Amino acid sequence: MALKDELRKLEQDTLSSVENASTLQDLETVRVAVLGKSGSLTGYLRNMGNVAKEERAEVGKAVNAARQAVEEAIDARRAVLEVAEMDARIEAGAVDITLPGRSQQIGSRHLINRIIDEVSDIFLGLGYTVGVGPEVETDYYNFTALNAPADHPSRSMQDTFYVRDMSGDSAAVRGESDVLLRTQTSGAQVHAMEDKPLPIYMIAPGKVYRRDVADPSHLPQFHQIEGLVVDKGITFGDLKGTLDHMCKQIFGSNRKTRFRAHYFPFTEPSAEVDVSCGVCAGEGCRMCKGTGWLEILGCGMVDPNVLQMSGIDPEIYSGFAFGVGVERIACLKYNVPDLRMLLEGDMRFLRQF
Ligand code: DAH
């Protein structure tokens, strides 16, 4: 019977297509072509009406047998392909747990800021306030109100950046502007005395600027922390005790301090403070140039003129002031040999702190 041969051929072809389907998608295409609504095998079932009555049972049996064989083959092939595709997906999404991880880089505070925080904490613990002054300052706050009137020789101790007035004011263009980048944080003292109620116990950290070329011991921009106390009955003993406490907190309780007479226009008497060398414990070494001491700050009793200029009666009030270089503390505490290293942003250097 020709029909039976036809069916057998269709079954054989379909079974080999099923076997050759390499994806679930291919398999589905084969299924639809044979068993779908207008599939080839479905066509035989549809056409049963045209088959002669006496042959119908036999043809029907043959078509159903073919359909069953094809369905079984498809189900078996589907099971195999599903496992293979799952394996492929797992393989593709696999994480290589032997690769080193990409660690998150966590930033930290720069050494300069850390020291400012550390010194601020020491003085907050003593009941001081922490303030800031303006970096662009007038000549009055940077010099005049600090007892250094025009032509005072102390002005030449600090080479100043003047801010040029772009309006074309000829005095400013000639460098006679009275607006400047502050050379010291001491102007914060004047702002505090003008603005704050008495008594005053404050520090003011911040940036200062000087016309210096950067070298191992100079930077054109650096940081200072200014301190000011104004109250009744403040003595040089208060100054010494406070700064000795600060040095021991920063460098360690075994360090000694010494006060050397010095000159600053805004304090009288004035002193420079040295801390005993941490490398040789005061014996004398290269770090301290054989002296056993390292200079760390300037200080003194606020000059009565300075109090008076800011409207404070020096007959009733007295005070002390100090100014300490933040980079200097960093170098002395961590033996940094060159100030410029603090600004270069070299992570190998910065990570050490
Ligand atoms: N302003 C001084 C400087 O930059 C440091 C200083 C010295 C500040 C003595 C003070 C002080 O308040 O009393 O060299």
SS3 (DSSP) at 288: coil
Supply the residue whose CA is at minimum distance from atom 7 of ligand 1: 298
* Side chain identity, residue 14: T
Task: Provide the pLDDT for residue 59.
Answer: 84
Q: For residues 82 and 141, what is the distance between their CA atoms, to the nearest angstrom?
A: 83
Bond preceding residue 205 cis, omega within 30 of 0: no
> Is 117:109 a contact under the CB 8 Å cutoff?
yes
Give me ligand 1 centre to Cα 306, in Å: 13
> Is 260:271 a contact under the CB 8 Å cutoff?
yes
What are residue 134's phi and psi, to 5 degrees? -75, 145
Task: Provide the pLDDT for residue 51.
Answer: 83
Calculate mean pLDDT across residues 118-135: 96
Cα–Cα–Cα angle for 134, 135, 137, nearest 5°?
75
Q: For residues 173 and 166, what is the distance between their CA atoms, to the nearest angstrom?
A: 8
- Reference 317, options 239, 240, 230; nearest CA is 230
Task: Provide the pLDDT for residue 170.
Answer: 53
Task: Provide the pLDDT for residue 272.
Answer: 97
What residue spans of 21-151 are helical by DSSP H? 24-35, 40-46, 53-92, 111-125, 139-142
Tokens 């049996």 found at? 61
Q: For residues 36 and 11, what is the distance between their CA atoms, to the nearest angstrom?
A: 15
Supply the residue whose CA is at minimum distance from atom 5 of ligand 1: 323
Task: Provide the pLDDT for residue 167.
Answer: 64
Task: Provide the pLDDT for residue 308.
Answer: 97
Q: For residues 175 and 169, what is the distance between their CA atoms, to the nearest angstrom?
A: 10
Residue 325 burial by CB count (10 A; 0-12/13-18/19+): exposed, middle or buried?
Answer: buried
Between 109 and 237, name the one with better pLDDT. 237
Give residue 290's pLDDT band: very low, low, confident or very high (50, 70, 90): very high
Element (H, E) at 350: helix 347-350
Q: Is the pTM of this model over 0.85?
A: no
For the ranges 5-9, 24-28, 299-303, 312-316, the lowest mean pLDDT is seen at 5-9
Calculate mean pLDDT across residues 144-170: 77
Give me ligand 1 centre to Cα 55, in Å: 120
**Residue in 228, 266, 274 to alter for ligand 1 test, most ligand atoms within 8 A of Cβ:** 266
Q: For residues 339 and 327, what is the distance between their CA atoms, to the nearest angstrom?
A: 7
Residue 1 has pLDDT above 80, yes or no: no
Task: Provide the pLDDT for residue 176.
Answer: 62
Q: Percentage of the chain with pLDDT > 70?
A: 95
Give residue 168's pLDDT band: very low, low, confident or very high (50, 70, 90): low
Give me ligand 1 centre to Cα 221, in Å: 16
- Reference 27, options 82, 96, 98; nearest CA is 82
Give me ligand 1 centre to Cα 323, in Å: 4
For the ranges 27-36, 71-80, 285-294, the lowest mean pLDDT is seen at 285-294
**Residue in 146, 186, 219, 226 to alter for ligand 1 test, most ligand atoms within 8 A of Cβ:** 186
Pairing mode, strands 200-209 and 129-130: parallel
Q: Which tens digit of pLDDT belongs to each residue from 60-91? A: 888 889 999 999 999 999 999 999 999 999 98
Task: Provide the pLDDT for residue 230.
Answer: 98
Question: Which residues have CB under 6 Å of ligand 1?
Answer: 184, 186, 226, 264, 267, 298-300, 321-323
Supply the residue whose CA is at minimum distance from atom 8 of ligand 1: 323
Q: For residues 97 and 93, what is the distance between their CA atoms, to the nearest angstrom?
A: 12
Mean pLDDT, rounded, of the chain:
90
Q: At what angle do helices 326-334 and 236-251 cross, to 10 degrees?
A: 50
